Structure 1
């Protein structure tokens, strides 16, 4: 899922649980960056370091900021709470709190409903 700084969903991709986010970057993030000229910075977790991150920065002229570990124990990471809040909002939806949909495409459609 990709959200903006307000936590509004820009795009999402629902897949099997064994598919890592980094492997789905070409399905989720790259199409968004191709059509949106306003994306200047992408905040991502440590999985996007290295080759994947360098390829994103080079291909789309955006800054990739990696959120690292801030210290021992629980530390609130800046900006990460926005994504977590959006996931919490979606989870409160009666339709999304259970897996009623059989196909991932149907689940995506429900997430993207206005």
Structure 2
């Protein structure tokens, strides 16, 4: 179920090409269970609603995954 904070298809088409520049590179030992769009939707939900990480809706990714990706991205912006 999309939320008001979820990316539209049009927004995703604009944003997706930039993700290579902002997302941190990490060594992959196995394929990711989540798409980049799902990760961003979780981040945007938390940022828009200001809820505790643990209170992310259960139909979004696990809060620990969303939190890790947000802080991994934020750490790479200063590089």
TM-score of the superposed pair, with normalisation by structure 2: 0.27
Structure that is richer in strand per residue: 1
Structure that is richer in helix per residue: 2
CA radius of gyration, larger in: 1
Higher relative contact order (CA 8 A, sep 6+): 2
TM-score of the superposed pair, with normalisation by structure 1: 0.22
